[in-house]
Chains A and B, each alone.
Chain A
Amino acid sequence: GAGVSQSPSNKVTEKGKDVELRCDPISGHTALYWYRQSLGQGLEFLIYFQGNSAPDKSGLPSDRFSAERTGGSVSTLTIQRTQQEDSAVYLCASRPTNTQYFGPGTRLTVL
């Protein structure tokens, strides 16, 4: 079956611009996660959605980062006023019960 998909696969932007990254989870998966993978930092948890509950935003690094999940399916991670330190691979994962399945990621480069 179809896995988790993310778009775009690569995004190059200029410092100060806003970007939106999209995640399409596996159909029927109730939980959705965003992670950031950067050199030297490993995989950092950003935000977690579970059903209709309020999202767990405890990993968001600043108020420039936000995410929403519409209709319990597609999610968008928005980074406002991007900075060079935001350059990283952003990974999305979805989960039915106890295992997370990851998408291919979006590589964000902020010039």
Chain B
Amino acid sequence: AQSVTQLDSQVPVFEEAPVELRCNYSSSVSVYLFWYVQYPNQGLQLLLKYLSGSTLVKGINGFEAEFNKSQTSFHLRKPSVHISDTAEYFCAVEQGGSEKLVFGKGTKLTVNP
């Protein structure tokens, strides 16, 4: 069964610093990959997704992620974070044809002034 590992449960950074949130998944069989963001007391909002094509995908709010098939990773990056990026970030994987998402445990990003 597919599994998703987000290696860091909490990531504190200072404002304007770069950040990388790591995500690894277990199966290299055809997958769709997603990052969602959850602000306090809200639902999940789609940040970006990889379905096919270019392995570097850009999303909202200046985030991007790179699909690395050989390393089964889909790390999320932002070159300069803002206080407003403080939230919990979830990586999710859909194994081709399953139509169901498997989520990682989430990474809480805290941006400090």
| A43 in contact (CB, < 8 A) | yes
Interface size class of A (residues with CB under 8 A): 20 to 34
Q: Is the interface of A mostly helix, strand, loop or mixed?
A: strand
Given A43-B90, A45-B101, also A99-B43 (CB < 8 A): no
Q: Which residues of B contact A78 (CB under 8 A)?
A: none
Given A42-B104, A43-B90, also A99-B46 (CB < 8 A): yes
Contact with B along A69-111 (1 / 0, CB 8 A): 0000000000000000000000101010011111111000000
| A67 in contact (CB, < 8 A) | no
Contact with A along B15-58 (1 / 0, CB 8 A): 00000000000000000101010000011111001010000000
Contact B43 A98 (CB under 8 A): no
Q: Which residues of B contact A99 (CB under 8 A)?
A: 34, 46, 49
- Of B36, B99, B100, B102, the contact of A102 (CB 8 Å cutoff): B36
Q: Is the interface of B mostly helix, strand, loop or mixed?
A: strand
Q: Which residues of A contact B102 (CB under 8 A)?
A: 45
| B77 in contact (CB, < 8 A) | no
Q: With the chains together, A86 CA to B72 CA distance in Å?
A: 34
Q: Which residues of B contact A33 (CB under 8 A)?
A: 100-101
| A31 in contact (CB, < 8 A) | yes
| Given contact pairs A43-B106, A95-B99, a sample of 7 additional A-B residue pairs in the complex whose CB atoms are under 8 Å apart | A43-B103, A48-B99, A48-B100, A98-B32, A101-B46, A102-B45, A105-B43
Interfacial residues, chain A to chain B (CB-CB below 8 A)? 4, 6, 31, 33, 42-43, 45, 48, 50, 56, 91, 93, 95, 98-105
